[in-house]
Amino acid sequence: MILIRHADLYQPGHRGIADILIGGASILAIADHIDAEYLPGPVEIVDARGQPAVPGFIDNHVHITGGGGEGGFQTRTPELNPEDAVKAGVTTIIGVLGTDGVARSLETLLAKVYALRAQGLSAWCYAGSYHVPFRTLTGSLMQDIMLIEPILGAGEIAVSDHRSSRPTIEELARIVADARVAGLLSGKAGVVNLHLGDEPGGMAALRAIAAQQPILARSILPTHCGRNLNLFREALEWAESGGIVDFTTSSVPSFVAGGETTAASALLAFRERGIPLDRITWSSDGQGSLPLFNEEGTCIGSGVGTCLSLVTALKEACRAGVPLEEALLPITTNPAAILKLQGKGRLEVGSDADLVILDANLHPATVVARGRFLMREGALVQSLR
């Protein structure tokens, strides 16, 4: 067992100073004081010294097998090193493919999910990639979701982007409907993660699907919603109507200069407009490329997304006046609820023992995942490679 003393507990709601008892992979007790002398068996005691203890971060969009390639094979990005996730306080990861669904396969994506689990993290993934029709493992999206435990839904499927395969509204609606029903039958989220690009179509496809069958709207998780100002405005309207939206935390200065809305700014806009905060998530787009295209659509440069960008967004939101308990929602409670990740996103009795102790600068100092220390006071406990 592990006993964390004197933690300033965020569940993510702020509870204040408390002791947290962990046994196995779960939280056994939370109280103002827990006396170790009365516990059965050996206990490792850690003093949090009044630092914030928060739920482990959930990164719901990571190219765990690498991404990119829009500038040729030499521009493919590397797969995720789990140590980089741990340093960012990420304990739960959702893997996606991307532009390249040929040289990067669903088989390798699933294998990487299993590797991350063996290395101490929690991981799931989506079936499919940018293009429609996409490959599945069983030949059917419904069968993949229902019969392959780590597969939660479909994505990321590209719309309003020059790299999209131009799926019709009917094709997209069928994918969303199939994913939703498969989720109902299997107890999973059954969501469809849609990549939004810079083209004028924006979220028109999503609105068309919702107009035809409103119940499908909550099964769609659009991402990159801050890419430009028009898309950001559409995303706010989508959320106001009851939809959910995801904002990417990885960026480069040229994107922001070109009109991108940061994830932290998006959260501020939600608060200012009175949009329920359970309708927004953040994700890093980790290991995905951040390509820069010229007017002819040729890639002329790129960066690489990082899980650590979640921490940057958290700090930015708090500096702008967002209370920590609210700034945590897009990377804890919200993705856990939307993706139906049982035991994730909260620190309460019976939940999974995924916990991050933040330092005075809100940077992850200690990380516990599934009841195991993966990082202590800034030092990795062991290599996760």
**C-alpha pair distances (Å), 120 with each of 65, 105, 111, 350, 377:** 17, 23, 15, 19, 18
Q: CA-CA distance, 168 to 118, in Å (whole number)? A: 39
Listed in order, strand segments (DSSP E) in 85-218 are 90-95, 122-127, 151-159, 191-196
Any domain includes 139: yes
In tens, the pLDDT along 183-236 reads 999 999 999 999 999 999 999 999 999 999 999 999 999 999 999 999 999 999
In tens, the pLDDT along 80-112 reads 999 999 999 999 999 999 999 999 999 999 999
DSSP 365-381: EEEEETTEEEEETTEES
Q: CA-CA distance, 217 to 208, in Å (whole number)? A: 10
State what percent of residues in the chain have pLDDT above 90. Answer: 88
Which whole number is the average pLDDT over 367-379?
Answer: 95
The neighbouring-strand residues paired with 244 are none
Statement to judge: residues 140 and 176 lie in one domain: yes
Residue 114, classed as helix, strand or coil, is: helix
Statement to judge: residues 211 and 353 lie in one domain: no
Q: How many domains does the chain have?
A: 2
Note if the pTM is more than 0.75: yes
Statement to judge: residues 194 and 316 lie in one domain: yes
Domain that holds residue 191: 56-338
Q: CA-CA distance, 155 to 98, in Å (whole number)? A: 8
Any domain includes 385: no
In tens, the pLDDT along 143-185 reads 999 999 999 999 999 999 999 999 999 999 999 999 999 999 9
331: left (phi over 0), alpha (psi -120 to 50) or beta: alpha
Supply the residues annotated as catalytic: 285
Output the pLDDT for position 128: 96
Q: Any idea what the CATH number is for the domain that residue 110 is in? A: 3.20.20.140
Statement to judge: residues 31 and 143 lie in one domain: no
In tens, the pLDDT along 312-345 reads 999 999 999 999 999 999 999 999 999 999 999 9
**Mean pLDDT of the residues in the chain:** 95
Statement to judge: residues 358 and 304 lie in one domain: no
Any domain includes 132: yes
Output the pLDDT for position 385: 61
